[in-house]
């Protein structure tokens, strides 16, 4: 990826206020572009199925762990099949050591606590995506 090409991000978060705030921060960061957002697994799958394979165009997926219709980790396999190089970051407010190990085994690249500032989350998205 060239330094001038923004990282393409998908955000899956069921709390609409938190999602909108995070989208605002991510969009304000140089080098990041939110190209899809969803509030559930179903909405995420719908977005991934539209437009000839959105998953193949994504660099980073930022996914809430607990969604109203399942766990965000259910998307990891689908995202990797569409784009093996995608970076998957899980957000959660409940991070126990055993859970972090479980998420790592599920193929998640990073786990972030929701209590981190939005700017810290944006920095981690950029770092994981290879954008510095």
pLDDT of 51: 47
Q: Domains along the chain? A: 7-128 (3.40.50.2300)
Reference 55, options 26, 35, 73; nearest CA is: 35
CA distance 88 to 23: 16
- Residues 80-128: pLDDT tens digits? 888 899 999 999 887 777 788 888 888 899 999 888 888 899 999 999 9
- Residues 9-32: pLDDT tens digits? 999 999 999 999 999 999 998 899
Q: Is the dihedral of CA 95, 101, 103, 108 positive or negative?
A: positive
């Amino acid at each position: 990826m060239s330094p001038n090409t923004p990282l393409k991000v998908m955000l899956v978060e069921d709390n609409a206020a938190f999602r909108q705030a995070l989208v605002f921060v991510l969009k304000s960061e140089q080098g990041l572009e939110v190209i899809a957002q969803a509030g559930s697994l179903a909405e995420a799958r719908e977005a991934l199925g539209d437009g000839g394979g959105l998953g193949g165009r994504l660099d980073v997926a930022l996914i809430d762990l607990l969604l109203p219709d399942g766990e965000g980790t259910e998307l990891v396999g689908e995202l990797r099949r569409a784009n093996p190089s995608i970076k998957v970051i899980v957000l959660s407010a409940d991070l126990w050591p055993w859970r972090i190990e479980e998420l790592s085994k599920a193929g998640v690249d990073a786990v972030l606590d929701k209590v981190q500032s939005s700017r810290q989350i944006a920095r981690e998205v950029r770092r994981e995506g290879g954008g510095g």
